[in-house]
Amino acid sequence: MNGSYGQVSRRLFVTGLFATAATAALPVGTGAARPRTQVLRAKPAKVSIGARTVSTWTYDGRLPGPRIEATAGGVVRARLVNDLPAATTVHWHGIRLDARMDGAPGYTQKPVPPGGTFDYAFTTPDPGTYFYHSHVGMQNDRGLYGTLIVTDPHEPLGYDQEFTVVLDDWLDGMIGTPDDALRRLNASTAHDDTLRSDLLGGVTAELRHPYYLVNGRAAEAPEVFESKPGRLVRLRIINAAADTAFRVALGGHRLGVTHTDGFPCAPLTVDTILIGMGERYDVLVRLGDGAFPLVAEAEGKGARAFAIVRTSRKAGAPRSGVRLSELSGRRLTYADLNARRADRLPRPSRSVTVTLGMRPSGNEWTMNDRLAADPMRLRVERGETIRIVLDNQSPMWHPMHLHGHTFQVRTSSGPQGPRKDTVNVLPRERLNIDVHADNPGEWMFHCHNLYHQEQGMMGTLGYGPAKRAMKH
Ligand code: C2O
Ligand code: CU
C-alpha cells in the first residue's frame, strides 16, 4: 500500500525472533471472488464445555460461531436468521462500516424479532482481526459471537501459519443465564473485593465466571493448535469475554506484537499482553520444538483459559496449572505502541471530556453523569478531529469501545500512540484518544464490560444535530 508497510516487515526481519522469517505469505483471498452470503442462524443449542453440556444461544450451533473471512476493500454479506426466542442483532466490532449495518439496536436498526431475518452487507475497508457479536442486552455473554478476519490482498507480513485465539468467560447454563447474573448484580450494591488486580487498579471485575475458554474450549479439554518446529505463526488474539481481562503468554516464547485492534503498529517483542474485553492483538511467534501452554490468566480471578500449541508429538502435554515466568515478564503497555506513519491522525482542533463514573448505588455506571436510557451524546462535524479525554473517576477500569471509527490513543510517554477501537481506562486515569470524524452516523460509545454496558455505561457519538432516537 505504501512504504510504511514495507518498513514494518523489514524491521520484523532484523530482530532475532524473526531472523529467518519465511518469505512465503499465506495465500490470501483473491479479491476477485464473488462474496457469498454467510448465513448466521442465531439459535438455542447445546454445547460441551469441559465435562459439562449446557444449553445456550449460538450462531449455527457452534461456539464460537462460524469464522467469516473477507478481503480488505471487499464486501461481507451475512444473513441473520433469528431462531431465538428473543430479538437480536449482529454487530461487526471494529469495522469502519456503513452505519446502517452496525447492528446497534435502537440506534441503527430495530432488533430482528424471533422468526425474522436481516441482511447485512458492508465493505470492510481495513484488513485486520475483528469479531462479531449480538448487541442486544446480555446476549453476547451467551455464545453469540464469532471471528471476522479481514485479509490483506497485499499482506506485508511473511508467516507460515495462523491461529485465531478467541478468549471468553462462561457462565451460561452453569450459574443461571447472563440475565440472571445481571439481575443479581442489580440487586446488590457491593462489589466482590476478592476480584483484585494491581494491573487493573483494584477491583477488576463484576463476577466470577465458572469457566474461561479458548475457542469455546475449557482447560480440561483444551484447544490444541498443531504446527511444526521453526514455523513462524501469527496468533490473532480476540477477547470476546463479558467481564474478564486476560493476561496472555505462550510458555517458552516471546510475542512479537504486530497489530492491535486490526491496525498495524511498530513491531516490538514482549512476554505478555493484557487484553481487555473487545480488544484484539496480533502477534508473531517462531515456534520451538515441543508442546507449549498458551495461557490467558483471567486477571484478578485466580483462574485461566488454557490451550496447547504443539509442534512435536513426542512432547508430553503441558498441564493447565503450569507456572509461566512469561506472565510476570515484560508486559505490553499502550505507551509501547505506535501507529505506522500513514495511520497517524491529524491534530485535534478541540477537546471534550467524557467522565466515567459510578453512582453511589454501586451498580450504575455513567458517562458524563448520564445513563444509557438518556445517553450522553458527543456531537461531531464531519471532517473534524477531536480529542476525547476519558476521565475515569470511578473505582473500576473500563474497556471503552467506539463504533464505526478507530481512534488514536495518545499516551503521555508515547509520541504517536496506537490506532485502536477499544481502550482500557484504569481507575482515576485520564487517557486521551483522538477521533477523526469520517464516518457519519449515530454511533454507540460504551464500556465493553457487558455488565457495565447494561448498567448504564453507554453513550453516543453523533454527527451534527441530534435526531430523534429510533423507537425500539
Ligand atoms: Cu463489541 Cu458495541 O460492541
Ligand atoms: Cu466498565
Q: Which three cell numbers stand for residue 458?
A: 453507554
Distance 291 CA to ligand 1 centre (A): 35
Question: Please, what sign has the CA dihedral across residues 398, 404, 405, 406?
Answer: positive
Closest CA to ligand 1's atom 3: 93
**458 CA to middle of ligand 1, Å?**
10
Give the nearest ligand 1 atom to 444 CA: 2
Q: How far is the CA of 446 from the centre of ligand 1 (A)?
A: 8
Which numbered ligand comes closest to the C-alpha of 453?
A: 2
Task: Read off the pTM.
Answer: 0.92
Q: What is the chain's Cα-based Rg?
A: 21
Q: Is 452 in the pocket of ligand 1 (CB under 6 A)?
A: no
From ligand 2's centre to the CA of 76, what distance in Å? Answer: 30
- Closest atom of ligand 1 to 422 CA is 1
Q: Residue 364: nearest ligand to its CA?
A: 2
Atom of ligand 1 nearest to the CA of 453: 2
Distance CA 182, CA 409 (A): 31
Q: pLDDT of the chain along its 472 residues, tens only?
A: 333 333 333 333 333 343 333 333 334 444 445 568 999 999 999 999 999 999 999 999 999 999 999 999 999 999 999 999 999 999 999 999 999 999 999 999 999 999 999 999 999 999 999 999 999 999 999 999 999 999 999 999 999 999 999 999 999 999 999 999 999 999 988 899 899 999 999 899 999 999 999 999 999 999 999 999 999 999 999 999 999 999 999 999 999 999 999 999 989 999 999 999 999 999 999 999 999 999 999 999 999 999 999 999 898 899 999 999 999 999 999 999 999 989 999 999 999 999 999 999 999 999 999 999 999 999 999 999 999 999 999 999 999 999 999 999 998 755 689 999 999 999 999 999 999 999 999 999 999 999 999 999 999 999 999 876 554 4
Burial of 373 (0-12, 13-18, 19+ CB in 10 A): exposed
Q: What 8-state DSSP symbol labels residue 331?
A: B
* Atom from ligand 1 closest to the CA of residue 94: 1
Query: Looking at ligand 1, which atom is closest to the CA of residue 93?
Result: 1
Q: Using CA atoms, how far apart are residues 269 and 142, in angstroms rounded to an integer?
A: 34
> Which of the ligands is closest to the CA of residue 278?
1
Give yes or no for residue 91 CB within 6 A of ligand 1: yes
**What domains can be seen in the chain, in order of their start residue?**
37-151 (2.60.40.420), 158-332 (2.60.40.420), 341-463 (2.60.40.420)
Alpha-carbon torsion (417, 244, 84, 55), positive or negative:
positive
Residues in the chain: 472
For residue 452, the ligand closest to its alpha carbon is 2
SS3 79: strand
Residue at 353: amino acid letter: T
Q: Whose CA is nearest to atom 1 of ligand 1?
A: 93
Please give the Cα distance from 363 to 47 (Å, whole number). Answer: 31
Q: Give residue for cell 508429538.
A: 313
Q: In the structure grid, which three cell numbers stand for residue 447, read together?
A: 464500556
Ligand 1, atom nearest to 133 Cα: 1
> Which grid coordinates are listed for 457?
455505561
Does the C-beta of 142 come closer than 6 Å to ligand 1?
A: no
Question: Does residue 280's CB lie within 6 angstroms of at least one atom of ligand 1?
Answer: no
